[in-house]
């Protein structure tokens, strides 16, 4: 087993990895930059190294130099961009440092979005319909011709995507130029690569992911499905497992297909095979996420497996140790992503100092976060600050538990999307399970987080407290012992 690990990430995923490593007896090295000095992952790690700036998390040479200097024998990228960088994986191997994740050749194959789609389609597995090539900055005419061939509506995507950035819906031909320009700018800023490709949109749709785990001895299992169809800016906000949109027969077929796809790529370690499901229940392969995902906590609650521990074990060469019949998937789980952004102000990021933090707890409630009282939310990173995951025996009880957990949350110092999450949990569309990827554009956007009577009650209480404080008479009172004069006698000079 490994002796020391460098965690090439920050925030809640770094905290998550450190805790598992401590249980396994593996020493941890954390990296940070000045604005993140007081973050929880820095406080928990055995060793810490300051980066020259926040861009250091994206600099392979800097991270490898730290790894060599600190004598680590393995590196965990979390779910950062370097997690799917085949060149970085090869560089780690060249430096004699193990990389926790799939091998470089697997990452290279799955990161080739068009190539992966064509490989899966050639195997007879349905995929989304896509352009046969990608397009650079000076190939707008070719992009226009391909869009006309595929037909609208379309989705334009970054070739380096997988995190929702650089992805846009194009409803009509007259939107193509402007939407492509914005997608290209975002892709260049986020990934450093502005090449784009097209997919024919499936509307309405469900986003379904299947968690897979494989060793390097040929053993492969799935750990069930999860749905992440409640999205904003193509990033998931609320996810649940299992998905409601799949019948038992369709679920069995989808899970079997996910294993077939994984075998096509000789997949190893932990990853997710993703599909889109249309309104008739037909499913289409979309992509493979060759890394651990933010929503892995759902699967952990459903199976009671520690996926980070599994990642580390498998990279150390250990066999899987179980087969598909050994996997027990039970109950229901929901996770919500708490983000430092204000939905009431067009989701403006809200970094800052948190004067007070109260985290929810109780049976089957899990919070992954780097927050604590008097901590800072830096301005340079993704706004995700916490994940709340709950489990219950059935979906109604799970929703009730999530509502209670969100109500227990208290963060003072920066606006968050907590009111939006509470609205979603109370929305009839979510409660009934009738939602797709366009959910946030509908009923939730216009609804308050609580009933209007609760709002009026809370406002009345606030007004009463403010009135009382404003009008209270301040009468200073001296302690009784001061009347004895002992303090004056004690100061006499003798």
CATH of domain 4-100: 3.40.50.20
Where do the domains of the chain lie? 4-100, 129-200, 206-446
Provide the edge-to-edge strand list for the sheet that holds 74-76.
47-50, 27-32, 4-7, 74-76, 98-99
Catalytic annotation, residues? 291
CB 403 within 8 A of CB 423: no
pLDDT band of 129, cuts 50, 70, 90: very high
- Residue 209 is given by DSSP the state E
Residue 190 has a pLDDT of: 79
SS3 211: strand
Residue 13 or 481, more confident: 13
Alpha-carbon span 245 to 259, nearest angstrom: 20
| Fold of the domain spanning 206-446 | D-amino Acid Aminotransferase; Chain A, domain 1 (3.30.470)
DSSP sequence for 143-194: HHHHHHHH-SSEEEEETT-SSSTT-EEE-SGGGHHHHHHHHHHHHHHHHS--
Residue 443 has a pLDDT of: 58
Residue 474 has a pLDDT of: 61
Weakest mean pLDDT among 66-75, 78-87, 93-102, 478-487: 478-487
Residue 446 has a pLDDT of: 45
Query: What mean pLDDT is predicted for residues 281-295?
Result: 96
Residue 119 has a pLDDT of: 97
Which residue do the tokens 């979510």 mark? Answer: 430
Percent of the chain with pLDDT over 90: 80
Which residue do the tokens 């796809």 mark? Answer: 261
Residue 260 has a pLDDT of: 98
For all residues of the chain together, what is the average pLDDT? 92
Query: What mean pLDDT is predicted for residues 127-138?
Result: 93
Q: Which two tokens stand for residue 91?
A: 């560089």
Residue 394 or 478, more confident: 394
Residue 251 or 490, more confident: 251
Residue 247, burial from CB neighbour count under 10 angstroms (0-12, 13-18, 19+): exposed
Query: What mean pLDDT is predicted for residues 395-419?
Result: 96
Residue 390 has a pLDDT of: 98
pLDDT at residue 185 is higher than 60:
yes
pLDDT at residue 444 is higher than 80:
no
Query: What mean pLDDT is predicted for residues 203-219?
Result: 96
Residue 485 has a pLDDT of: 64
pLDDT band of 471, cuts 50, 70, 90: confident
pLDDT at residue 489 is higher than 80:
no
Alpha-carbon span 65 to 91, nearest angstrom: 11
CATH of domain 129-200: 3.30.1490.20
Task: Please state whether the peptide bond connecting residue 55 to the residue before it is cis, i.e. omega within 30 degrees of 0.
Answer: no
Measured CA distances, 26 to 17, 287, 291, 311, 365 (Å): 11, 33, 21, 14, 26
Query: pTM of the entire structure?
Result: 0.89
């Amino acid at each position: 087993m490994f002796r020391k690990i460098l965690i090439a990430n920050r925030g809640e995923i770094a905290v998550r990895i450190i805790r598992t490593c401590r249980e396994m007896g593996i020493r941890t090295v954390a990296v940070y930059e000045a604005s993140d000095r007081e973050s929880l992952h820095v406080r928990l790690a055995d060793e810490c190294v300051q980066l020259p700036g926040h861009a250091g998390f994206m600099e392979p040479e800097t991270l490898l130099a730290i790894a060599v200097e600190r004598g680590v024998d393995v590196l965990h990228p979390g779910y950062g961009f370097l997690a799917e960088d085949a060149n970085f994986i090869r560089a780690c191997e060249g430096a004699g440092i193990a990389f926790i994740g799939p091998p470089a050749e697997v990452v290279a194959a799955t990161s080739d979005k068009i190539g992966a789609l064509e490989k899966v389609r050639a195997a007879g597995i349905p995929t989304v319909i896509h352009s046969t090539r990608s397009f650079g900055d000076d190939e707008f005419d070719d992009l226009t011709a391909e869009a006309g061939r595929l037909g609208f509506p379309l989705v334009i995507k970054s070739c380096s995507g997988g995190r929702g950035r650089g992805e846009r819906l194009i409803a009509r031909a007259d939107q193509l130029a402007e939407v492509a320009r914005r997608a290209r700018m975002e892709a260049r800023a986020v990934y450093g690569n502005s090449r784009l490709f097209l997919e024919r949109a499936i509307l309405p749709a469900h986003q379904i992911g299947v968690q897979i785990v494989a060793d390097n001895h040929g053993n492969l299992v799935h750990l069930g499905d999860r749905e992440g169809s409640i999205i904003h800016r193509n990033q998931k906000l609320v996810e649940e497992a299992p998905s409601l949109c799949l019948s038992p027969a369709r679920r069995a077929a989808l899970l079997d297909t996910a294993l077939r796809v994984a075998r096509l790529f000789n997949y190893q370690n932990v990853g997710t095979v993703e599909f889109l499901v249309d309104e008739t229940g037909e499913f289409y392969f979309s992509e493979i996420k060759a890394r651990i995902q933010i929503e892995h906590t759902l699967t952990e609650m459903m199976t009671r497996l520690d996926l980070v521990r599994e990642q580390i074990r498998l990279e150390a060469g250990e066999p899987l140790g179980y087969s598909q019949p050994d996997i027990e998937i039970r109950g229901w789980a929901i996770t919500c992503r708490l983000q430092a952004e204000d939905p009431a102000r067009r989701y403006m990021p809200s970094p800052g100092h948190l004067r007070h933090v109260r985290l929810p707890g109780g049976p089957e409630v899990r919070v992954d976060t780097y927050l604590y009282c008097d901590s800072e939310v830096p301005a340079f990173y993704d706004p995700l600050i916490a994940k709340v995951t709950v489990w219950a025996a059935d979906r109604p009880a799970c929703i009730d538990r999530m509502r209670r957990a969100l109500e227990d949350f208290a963060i003072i110092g920066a606006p968050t999307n907590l009111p939006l999450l509470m609205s979603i949990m109370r929305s009839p569309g979510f409660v009934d399970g009738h939602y797709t990827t366009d959910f946030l554009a509908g009923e939730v956007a216009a609804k308050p987080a609580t009933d209007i009577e609760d709002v009026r009650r809370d406002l009345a209480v606030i007004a009463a407290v403010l009135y009382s404080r404003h009008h209270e008479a301040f009468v200073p009172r001296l302690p009784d012992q001061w009347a004895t004069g002992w303090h004056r006698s004690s100061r006499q000079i003798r």
